[in-house]
Structure formats: structure tokens, C-alpha cells
Structure 1
Amino acid sequence: MMRTSVFALSALSLATAESTLSLRRRLSFEKVAGYAPGSQVTDHCAIDRDQAEIETLLAKKTNEAFSSAKAVYNNGGNSKSYARVTLTPALVGPLAKGARITGKSTDGIEIAGKAYNSYDAGAKEIWVQYATTDIQASYVACQVGSLVESINTEGCFAAEGDFDISGTQYAYTYNIASDNKNGRTIAGFSTEAGQKMRLDCPGCPYTDFTYFYNYYGADDYADEWVNAALDGGSTTFKNGNADFSKYGFDGRVEAVKKGTAYLNIFMYVIREFEDALDDCKRGCMDCNDDPVHAWDEGVCFYTGSIEGKDGLTPDGKLLHQLADKRCADFKTCGLESGELDGTANLNYELFDLFSLGKFQLQTGNCPAARKTTKLVTELMYIPMIQGTLRYAYKVGVLNEGEKAEAEGAAFAAAVLPRIHAANQDAAKTIYENMKVGASNTDHMAVKRAFESVYANLGITCADVGGLWNTATSSYYDGYEPCTDASTGGVIKEEDTTLAVIFGATFGGLFGLALLALCFKRNKEKRGQPVFSPTMYEEEDKPTELH
């Protein structure tokens, strides 16, 4: 269900405006599931390769495999790769972060890199980050870290050789297997959350992170959940605790792989969008590359690299794929929703908003970008709700076992803090029925609890849909879509705010926008999105290392 008045510009006016912006931005970045980033984020998108490696290892269901999965979770292998090397002689002068460094592979192929940090004269150990490309399939050719199943050393620096650092030659040595590290990890999304989302940012504390901090009583709640599931231990939260000693490998696998994606990565997606707002310079056409880059990172962490340019693969590992999976269960796929396969209606909505938000940031329309971010964040909870409902039914009615119980507990953990902020009694009901080791699951009580807070969450019954029974081609009894209190659909103030992005730079675009508004309203009344998620291409921005 497309929301009324989300967009202020039609495809025509946005394309015209972006052609003006493109006079000083290049249009060569590879699309991410249809979204055209304005900066290079191939390395960021690759975080889903760590998720894939973790899932491959967990599937072996052995203590050794769990230990290996924990190492990948903590140390990574695919994102922000760097070599830790020892120089001979030591640096003769200071080295700035980002300074170009070149060396060669074992096969003599030149490899480009850059200084990971700034270093003083006399430093002997430095970290050299591998340069990344704009093409996802070849973004970097050195993936080691703690990987087990997918190590790639083809593009790593040779074990010894010479670096060219600012025109000076330095001999170096390092161990290819143990000294190729990674600066971006799934664990880091949680262990650094307190500083980046609550304590040390211009917009701190971020609203949604505060929900989770207040509920769980810990900044690193996601990391605690994942480690407890990996170790078969218990969490020590203020609310929402889980004792994974009650599970064998089947339950712990689900708790880990859903925890990494839907607790760690989910919140960091929101963090990147909030970070973009923190950096936004109102009314400035030429100073918003940083917020666009942060916004692009958020889209990457939502989507990942496995989804490809069009986002149609069924093999994705992150939130984009979750939305597509859940829409098939709740009959919310397709441009107009109501379908049982294909792209989730939610993803059509989100990718329209992603493109709109990027444009608002580029043009310095910071207030409009903030409203767009709020809409994005509200929508992102929908698959978590759908997942919890699905497994409440599987456990409560179909009597499925540990695997389903763990999946339900993990989905609930990913949304309970938001429910708790809306209604503590509703959150308690959901937790008591879905928690690890629950003695009973009243699926209808869970459904009613969720439905009681939809309006507060900014979503509707139609957004969530109903649990579909493919065997009978009907909804499961009692799990049909609910009906909102106002069937007319209350339009919130933020949903009606139009992003006015005009001025001298755009000249005659004002008239186009008015025409576009009429066009857009007619389209959306028929339930059709104004923008497809494959329409835009954009700019350049040096990689900022988040």
C-alpha cells in the first residue's frame, strides 16, 4: 500500500533535477537492487558476505563450526580489508590517513592501497587498506580475516616486498594468513553502538536506538544476544532475556543468524540514515556528499551485495531478502501488494523512499530528509512483526518445535523494544508468548498485542497483511488481515509533508513539480508507485570508513 504524499517530484521532475546535479557529479556507480548510490559503497555492501559465511558455518552444527562462526562474526573477512605490515626502514616522515600506497601480489600484479590511519615518523607497523572498485563483483580481491569457506588471497599483497609510499620505497613483511584483517564487522555494529547512536554524535541519542537501549538496558544488546546464542548461555538484559541453554544446535543456529542480521545490522541501517541527517547542510547544493555517502551505506547494509543490481535474487542474506520472504507469507508482494511472490511491496516503498531521501540530502532539504527517514524507519519493522506472527502460529497452532520457537523468539527480540515504547503491556504479552522456553504460545494474544500498537508505529493492517495458507488458498483461521480503526486511512502530518526542493538552481522546475504532484496523486490513488526502484543514477564520493 503506497502512502499518499510521500513524494513531491515525479519521475520527470526528479530526473530533470538530477540532470542539473550531474553537471558536477559522475553517474557510474553500480546499482544496489535498483538503487543508484551517489558514492562508492561496494565494500560496505559486502558485509552480507560475512553473514553468508556465518550461516554456512552454523549449518554444520558442531562446536568447532560455531567457534569458527564466532570468529567471523567478531573479526569479519569481507569488508574494509587491510594488511598489517612491518616496514624496513621505519617511516621517515608522517603518513596521512588515506595516503596512496602501492605494492605487488605474489604473482607480481600491482595492488593499490591506502593508509588505514595516520602515522608519525618512525612508525614501523602500519595498516594498509586495500583499494576497492566501483564494481561489486570485483570490489576487492583480498578476503581473509577469519574466513574459513571463502578465503581469497589472489589480490593480497605478497608476504614480503616493497611498498611505494609517497614516492619513497619501503621494504615490508607480513603473514598473509594472519595479518590480513578487517575493519568492518557485524559484531562492531553492536559493540560500537553506544558511542555512535547514544553518546557521541550530533543527533544523539537516536530515537529508535533509545527504544532498544531503554528496553534491554545495554548499548550492545545485539552483541550480547548473539554471543549468548553462540555459547549456549543466557543474556542479562533489563527486559527480554533469553536462556539459550534450553536449545540445542537447531535453536541456537536460528537465534544467531537472525540475531546478526535483524538485531546487529538492522539497527546499524537506521544509524547510517540518522548519520546522514546529522551531516546534512540545509540549502546547500555542493556540501552534502558526506550525508549522501552515509545514506548510501544505509541502503547497502539494508540490502547487501548478493542481491545484485536488480535485487531479484532469492539468495540475499539481509533485510531486503527478509521483506521478500515475508511478503510471500503475508500476501503483500507486488507493486500494489496482494501478491504471493516477487518483490515485496515494502521494498518498492522503501526504495522509492531511499531515492527520495538521497535527492533531498543532495539538495540540502534536510527537514524533508528527516521526515523521509522517519517513514523508512517505521516501515522497516514490518517484516519483524510478520516474522513474529508467523512463528507464533507455527508454534502455537501447528506445534512446530525448537527451530520455529527460536525463529519466533529472534523476530520478537528485533521488535519488542519498539512495541514496549508504544505499550508496555503489549510488549509483555508478546514476550511471554514468544520468549525462549515459553511454556505456551497464544498466537491470537500475540496478534492482538501487535495490532493494538500499529497506529503508534505508523503502520497499518494492510502493511502487515495476513498469514496465507497456500494449501487452502486462504488465510489461516484467525490470522486474516486486521481492519484499521479508521478504514479511510488516517493521513499523518509527516505523510502529507511535501519535499519542496526548488530554487534558482532548478529554474522552471516549480511548474513541473506542480504537474508532477497531480500525476503522483492520480497514480497513488490507484495504488501504483510513482518511482520504480531502478530509475536513478548518481555521483561520486571518496569512501568514508564507517
Structure 2
Amino acid sequence: VIGDLQSVYDCLGFQCSDVGAYLTDSLPQCADIPVNLPLAEYRPTTRVHSHSKIDLDVLQIKILSSMEAYSFAKMLYLYGRNSPLPQDDDNVPYRLRTLHGFATTADRTAANPFYSDFASYFNDPNYADTVIIQTLDGQGKWGGASTEQRTEVISDTCAFQVLYMHALTELGSAMSACNNKAVRSSTGAHQWDEVAAYLIGSLEGPNAGGAVDLEDGQLVWSLANRRAFQFQTENKEGFSEINVHLEDLLFAGKAQINSFDCGNLAKTADRIQHLILLPIIQSTLRYALINKDLPSSSPSKDLSAGETFALSVLPVVQRYDGESAQVIEENMVLRSGVQPVQNGPQFVADAFYRALDDFGYSCILVGATPEVDACQLGGGIGAVRGAASGASTFQLLTSLTLLSLCTLGML
């Protein structure tokens, strides 16, 4: 019984030291969750497990909304439930992190220029919060939609707009801590670990690749794994190549913070904030394929999902290529009486292709399905992969040749 009680301390928001130990050796020793408990094999060096549990808020809001318990879902969104803030003083009231707080905090200016892009695109500084509250209250564009559509808008906006921007906020804060040498590197390291927590989440578990059941996770990490099979972007273990890149960047950034290598940290942060949009692009294309056959009046959740994913990346596409953003918007943002995806899914994929150079990533990471190819404008994914493989082989041979010449004393 004691062991069972101790196992839920974390869920209740306190640690073994808060309870204390009974003065006998006959009871099992209490052990808190270790600081370096991995998030899908990323090992934090600061305590962020409680941060990562915000994904439970997302999941529970989704469940409550699907049951039409919108008032309870709204309470959970506004006040939180699963991600307690540290309580260093008994006189400090018990507090929780909340998705509403993330969606409205003034700290989001640390995520500029992307936060400004989103606020400008929607003409609303609290764009995500507005959509979530309106949909929960039965108001706004999706307030009168089907239960499935409302649930999709609420949960996807929480996961892929609110938490995306909050992860970018922590990226910006970590860079500021690095540039401010007066701040200890542990401050930036903690903020960097928070980035991992808000992108991976607690439900992925500690193992490489994340949860075996791809439906367990709720955040960007899980989304990338779900899309990897559909777009042929999985690695040999069956997990997303996007996540392989993300984990490498997370480890690189942690080392750069610890050594105050702020110039390279800025580059790493920029790579991350663009990389984590690639699963959003894949999702937009997936729903473009589905929605092309649906009328705009359909109660299908696929229509609301397609729009929500598109709106989660459109402000960034518009920053780089206004024409491409217009194409995506016209095809993916639902309009009454207008056939969804009227120009076809490949037209949407081609629009994303034109912006990907500015993202700093190849269309290879977005991938292809039998019906849509993110690399078609580049000759098709097979040709692009072949060219990339040839370039890598050439670079390897060049390096080996130079090494041989150096060894022979010819350089």
C-alpha cells in the first residue's frame, strides 16, 4: 500500500521529502522521479518532468470535448490539472501551469519574429486562445459545428499552436540566457530542457523513438511519428527522421548552452523552430488528400483538422512566400459553399515546396504518398533523394581523398 501511495506522489504534485519517511527500515524507501528521466531518450539535466505532463491536459481536454463536456474542458484549459509549478515555500499557494496561460502570456515576445507573424496574420495577439475559448463556448466559426469538429479544433490548437509558440518562447529565453553571461548556464539549460518537454511530452515515455503506440503521444513528436509511415519518412526503427534530427539538435543546443556558444545556439534554435513545422506540413497535406472529396458542409472532423493544421503553419509560410501562403489558405481554410482543396492536394504540396528552401530543409523530410509528392517540383522524391545521396557520396569521397593526400604529405 505504501508503495502504491508513493507511486502517485508525482501526480499529486509533491515529492518524497514533502511527506517524509517513517522511522523504520520495514517500509519501502521512497524515490522521486529522477531529474534525468529521458523524454523519448532525450536526457534533461534539469527537472522538467512536471512540465512535460502538460500533454495530459491536452489529452484530457480532448476527451472531455469529445463527450461534449465543454464546461469541464474549459475549466481544465483555464486552470490546468496535471503540470504543477514548483512549491519551494509552504506559504506559496499550489499553482499549475495552464494552456490558457501559455496562450496569453506576454513572454511570447521572446518567440519573435514568429510570434509577431502569427499575431499579425490573425490580427489578434491571443489568436489561439480566442479560437479555443470561442469553440468551447459554442461561438465563432466552429462553435456550431459537429462535436468531432469542435474537439479537433480545440485539441489541435492546444497542441500545435499554443505549445508550438510556447516552445519557441523557451527557445528565445534560452538564447537570452546564453547571451547574458551573468546568468548561469543552468538557467539556459533548464529553459532548453523545457523546449524538449513541450515538444515531446510525458506520454512518449523514456525509450528511443517514443511510445510504441503512436496514438499515446499528443504533441509534435507524436505527430511526426504518425506521419512518418504515411509519408515514407521513417527510419529503420519505424520512427520519424524528423524526430531523429530534432533529438540531435536538442543535444547540440544543450552542449552549446553549457559552453556559452551562443552563435551556434542561435543557429540550432532556428533549425528547431522550422523543423517542428514539417509534421504540420505533412498533416496539412494528409487532410488535403482526404478533404478534396468532402463537401464544405460535411460534419467530418477532417475538415476542421485540415484547416487547423494549415493555420498552424501559414503565418510562417507567408513570411517567406506570400503567393504560396495564399494558395494554401484558399485550399485548406474552409469557406461555406466552396469545395475544399479545389486546386487539388498536389497544388498545395507545390506551394509548400516553394517555401521549404527558406525553412532550411529539403522536401525529402516532408516525403510523399502515392497521391501527393512534396518534391514534385524538384523532379519527384526519388530524383531528389538520388541527388542527395550522390552529393553525400561525393562529399565522402572528397574528404577521403583529401585525408589520403594529407597522409602522404602531398597537401
Q: TM-score band (shorter)?
A: 0.7 to 0.9
**Whole-angstrom distance in 1 between the partners of 2:180 and 2:144:** 52
**1:264 aligned residue:** 162
The answer for the alignment partner of 1:68 in structure 2 is 72
Answer yes or no: is the 8 Å Cα contact 2:35–2:46 preserved in 1. Answer: no
Match of 1:482 in 2: 376
Name the aligned partner's letter for residue 317 of structure 1.
Q
Tell me which of 457, 460, 463 is aligned to 2:365. Answer: 463
* CA–CA separation in structure 2 for the residues paired with 1:303 and 1:346: 12
SS of 1:223 mapped into structure 2: helix
Q: Please identify, of 480-489 and 376-385, the stretch whose mean Cα deviation from structure 2 is larger.
A: 480-489
Residue 97 of structure 2 is aligned to residue 197 of structure 1:
no
Q: Give 1:49's match in structure 2, choosing from 33, 38, 56.
A: 56
Name the TM-score, length of structure 2 as normaliser: 0.78
Amino acid at match of 1:435: V
What's the offset of the Cα at 1:480?
6.3
Q: Which residue is 1:218 aligned to?
A: 124
Task: Output aligned runs, 1:51-450, within 5 Å.
Answer: 51-60=58-67, 62=68, 65-80=69-84, 98-99=88-89, 101=90, 115-116=91-92, 127=93, 129=94, 182-192=95-105, 195-198=106-109, 204=110, 206-234=112-140, 243-245=141-143, 247-281=145-179, 287-310=184-207, 311-314=210-213, 315-334=216-235, 342-397=238-293, 402-437=300-335, 439-440=338-339, 441-442=341-342, 443-450=345-352
Aligned-pair CA distance for 1:294: 0.3
**Does the aligned pair in 2 maintain the 1:333–1:343 contact within 8 Å?**
yes
Letter of the structure 1 residue corresponding to residue 227 of structure 2: R
Shift of 1:431: 1.4
1:75-104 CA-to-partner distances (Å, cap 9, x unmatched) read: 11111258xxxxxxxxxxxxxx833x3xxx
Corresponding residue SS for 1:385: helix
Change (3 A) 1:183 1:66: same
Paired residues of 1:33 and 1:303 also in contact (CA < 8 A): yes
* Distance in structure 1 (CA, Å) of the matches to 2:143 and 2:49: 38
The one-letter amino acid paired with 1:229 is T
The amino acid across from 2:76 in the alignment is V
- Please state how far the C-alpha of 1:324 moved relative to its aligned partner: 0.5
Cα offsets for 1:199-256 (capped at 9, x unmatched)? xxxxx5612112112211222111011112222322xxxxxxxx11452212111111
CA 1:261–1:55: 2 relative to 1, 3 Å = same
Residue by residue over 1:79-134, the C-alpha shift from the partner in whole angstroms, topping out at 9 and shown as x without a partner, is 1258xxxxxxxxxxxxxx833x3xxxxxxxxxxxxx43xxxxxxxxxx1x4xxxxx
Deviation at 1:427, TM superposition (A): 1.4
Amino acid at match of 1:306: L
> Could you tell me which amino acid in structure 2 is paired with residue 196 of structure 1?
D
Separation of aligned partners in 1, 2:190 and 2:139: 38
**Per-residue deviation at 1:451?**
1.6
Query: Can you list the C-alpha shifts for 1:152-208, whole angstroms capped at 9, x where unaligned?
Result: xxxxxxxxxxxxxxxxxxxxxxxxxxxxxx43101111111xx2122xxxxx56121
d(CA) in 2 for partners of 1:183, 1:254: 24
Contact 2:307 2:333 in 1 (8 A): yes
1:384-420 C-alpha deviation (Å, 9 max, x unpaired): 1111111011011477852110110110110010111
Q: Tell me if structure 2 keeps the 8 A contact 1:282–1:365.
A: no
Kindly provide the CA deviation profile for residues 402-445 of structure 1, in whole angstroms up to 9, marking residues without a partner as x: 21101101101100101111122221221121113351223233
- Give the RMSD, CA atoms, in angstroms: 2.7
What is the aligned-residue identity percentage?
Answer: 28
**C-alpha distance in 2 between matches for 1:299 and 1:393:** 31
The unaligned stretches of length 5 or more in structure 2 are 1-33, 389-395, 401-411
Deviation per residue, 1:326-352 (Å, 9 max, x gap): 1121110115xxxxx721110011001
| Runs of 4 or more above 6 Å deviation | none
Contact 1:30/1:37, CA 8 A, preserved across alignment: yes
In terms of mean alpha carbon deviation, does 402-411 or 426-435 score higher? Answer: 426-435
Q: CA deviation at 1:465?
A: 0.4
Q: Secondary structure at the match of 1:452?
A: helix
- CA distance, structure 2, for counterparts of residue 463 and residue 80 of structure 1: 36
Check the 8 A contact 2:364/2:374 in 1, yes or no: no
The Cα shift of 1:364 comes to 0.9
Higher RCO (CA 8 Å, separation ≥ 6 residues): 1
Q: If each structure's helix is expressed as a fraction of its own residues, which one has the higher value?
A: 2
| Conserved 8 A contact 1:303-1:319 | yes
Write out per-residue CA displacement over residues 276-303 of structure 1, whole angstroms, 9 at most, x where no aligned residue.
Answer: 001115779x920000000001100111
Partners in 1 of 2:128 and 2:155 — Cα distance? 12
Letter in 2 for 1:431: E
Determine the C-alpha separation between the residues in 2 that align with 1:419 and 1:52.
28
2:45 maps to what in 1?
38
Q: Relative to structure 1, is the Cα distance of residues 457 and 421 closer, same or farther in structure 2, using a 3 angstrom cutoff?
A: same
